[in-house]
Amino acid sequence: MKNILFKSLEESGKILKEYMDKDFIIESKDIISNLVTEVDKRSESKIIEIIKTEYPTHNILSEEIGAINDVSDVKWIIDPIDGTINYAHGIPICCVSIGVEKAGEIIMGGIYNPFSGEIFFAEKGEGSYLNSKKIHVSEESVFEKSLLVTGFPYNTGNNPNKPVEVFSAIVNMDIPVRRLGSAALDICWTACGRFDGFWEYNLNAWDVAAGYLILTEAGGKVTDFKGGKYSVYNKEILATNGKIHSSILNIIQNIKK
């Protein structure tokens, strides 16, 4: 499966590079700021074609096409472009993300930004890699010295988790927080120590399946906003180096009260 995963990432990455800065169709989904492009659909079709050619009975869960359920206990969880708004505006902070789930457990994940040439990869029990180099989360244990990254949901104004209030509480502590626009890359950059922690709301399995495994295999910690066991089917995620996890968790929980 590893070879097919890499082939899928590389071939879909070629499509993203081919269409970047060209004219292509952009549409809105449920709300005007939730975009899908014809490149998302082309990337997705290529990935599914590659997977189904080799594994015709495997299940698929993909952002644009939804679920294709066959008879396998293996599911490929696909985001053909994570960071579509960035991509649609010519910003090269975006990626292809593919996770592989077997019998309910994420066993493999790959995330590829074709514009930086970075491929993040993890296999259950084998560690995480950036291209051919093994990666590990940061060692920062002082919350006030950390560098964080987050994203905002489309329903920011009425989200019960109060994302703006959480963000404000942290930046008012003079802690730098970035917002890049790609949850998958946010998690990967936390996995390799560029960031110390990441949190976000209203995500889907295709946003986080690959990144979840990459971060945990890199020594990081992932929970929901209650500090409980995480599932890629959760809508919320807190992913950190483990050392500052409780500090962010406390802020999220105290503001939600």
Domains and their CATH numbers in the chain: 2-134 (3.30.540.10), 143-256 (3.40.190.80)
Q: Which parts of 47-152 are beta strand (E)?
A: 59-62, 66-68, 74-82, 95-102, 105-113, 118-123, 128-130, 133-134, 148-150
* pLDDT tops 80 at residue 203: yes
- For 24-38, 68-82, 100-114, 145-159, which range has the lowest pLDDT when averaged over its residues? 24-38
pLDDT at 211: 98
Measure the CA–CA gap between 146 and 144, rounded to whole angstroms: 6
Question: pTM score > 0.85 for this model?
Answer: yes
| Contact yes or no for 245/238 (Cβ under 8 A) | yes
- For 9-13, 24-28, 75-79, 164-168, which range has the lowest pLDDT when averaged over its residues? 24-28
* pLDDT tops 70 at residue 234: yes
Query: Residue 181 is inside which H or E element, if any?
Result: none
pLDDT tens by residue, 49-65:
999 999 999 999 998 88
| Contact yes or no for 74/90 (Cβ under 8 A) | no
Measure the CA–CA gap between 210 and 67, rounded to whole angstroms: 17
pLDDT tens by residue, 58-113:
999 998 889 998 789 999 999 999 999 999 999 999 999 999 999 999 999 999 99
Q: Give the pLDDT band of residue 157 (cuts 50, 70, 90).
A: low
Cβ neighbours around 57 below 10 Å, total: 9
Give mean pLDDT, residues 149-161: 78
Measure the CA–CA gap between 11 and 25, rounded to whole angstroms: 20
pLDDT at 162: 87
* pLDDT tops 90 at residue 27: no
What is the overall mean pLDDT for the chain? 93
Q: Characterize the bridge pairing of strands 221-223 and 177-178.
A: unpaired
3-class SS letters over 144-170? HHCCEEECCCCCHHHCCCCHHHHHHHH
Q: Could you give the 3-state DSSP secondary structure of residue 77?
A: strand
131: left (phi over 0), alpha (psi -120 to 50) or beta: left
Under 8 Å CB-to-CB from 16, ≥6 apart: which residues?
Answer: 39, 43, 81, 87, 94, 96, 114, 115
The type of residue at 91 is I
Q: Pick the closest to residue 62 from 47, 52, 74 (CA basis).
A: 47
